[in-house]
Structure 1
């Protein structure tokens, strides 16, 4: 039996990607990457294709952040909070109020393991916040983690460009044992399995 995997789509929400006043600099790139990654992953779901070498996602988890009152713009049931890529039938919606999806959802790791998940693919927003924290949470819970390079980003921060922050996050996660793969290469591999 091949390893089941989960694709985590982290916090791709309107405030961060569509609102011209608040979106991250690489919003267009993240939306384009997200659309291509999800389209391919969803086709793999439909065709129920499994391949040990490429390890395509066995399930899709859409993560949605909610800011608590006074903490930020992602207030539940507001346009800013809405997802760019809402879950489709059979996909999982996981809501959170902390950066680490696993911290916000203490039973999530156990549920994933019961379903046979051992490997998590991840992408989304913001690189140094919810993406990094969720990847660390997954590693700490015993999952293998692959972060999709080019499919995560953030704002320019502390005198660093978003691109510099992306690279720093990738370096830190590699130091913890995560793999970093170019999203386009992964999508090509998955796409080849569809034919």
Structure 2
């Protein structure tokens, strides 16, 4: 049993630009920094064993110029956290739809070929690409965990980002996803 950690769309436009970032971008960046430092220490130190990740998948959303700001090569499109070039267990996956698996039809079989049975997800935006990618992973037969406190979005529809985060977690929980505070997950890896 191997686990893949999905780092979803933590890109400059959503996470660092003062004019466009989500309200809780600083929380997501801080959580991501700690999650990745522990996951990488585990990978580098002893090889991963459950429940720690054996693979880190960095997901990067792309848009056409007429559709948005996340245009390949642009500053808004760049990742806050990038895969290390010399680390074969760190992958970069581009996507054009909310669901990473829909954008990459061979991804599920490639991950299963590497022995991946479970996916742990965090990132931006909760009700868009995080939820859709978790649903895609569930549909592909993976066990899924979403890291509570390590995903967020914009305030929308009269709801705060935190309210949307909780609603997404509840919808995913009802479909069989585990919802774990990111601090607990990281503590279990160490």
Q: TM-score, normalised by structure 2?
A: 0.96
Give the alignment of 1:97-116 within 5 angstroms: 97-116=96-115
Provide the alpha-carbon RMSD of the alignment. 0.9
Matched, 1:63 2:62: no
Give the alignment of 1:41-120 within 5 angstroms: 41-52=39-50, 55-88=51-84, 89-90=87-88, 91-120=90-119
Cα deviation per residue 1:40-67 (whole Å; 9 max; x = unaligned)?
0001111234444xx1101000000001
Show the counterpart of 2:171: 172
1:186 deviates by 1.1
Whether the 8 Å CA contact 1:147–1:181 is kept in 2: the answer is yes
User: Aligned partners of 2:92 and 2:49: how far apart in 1?
Assistant: 25
Q: TM-score, normalised by structure 1?
A: 0.94
User: Aligned partners of 1:48 and 1:5: how far apart in 2?
Assistant: 15
User: Aligned partners of 2:46 and 2:135: how far apart in 1?
Assistant: 29
Whether the 8 Å CA contact 2:126–2:152 is kept in 1: the answer is yes
Structure 1, gaps ≥5 residues long: none
User: Aligned partners of 2:55 and 2:160: how far apart in 1?
Assistant: 33
User: Aligned partners of 2:65 and 2:47: how far apart in 1?
Assistant: 43
1:68 deviates by 2.1
- Which stretch shifts more, 62-71 or 139-148? 62-71
Structure 2, gaps ≥5 residues long: none
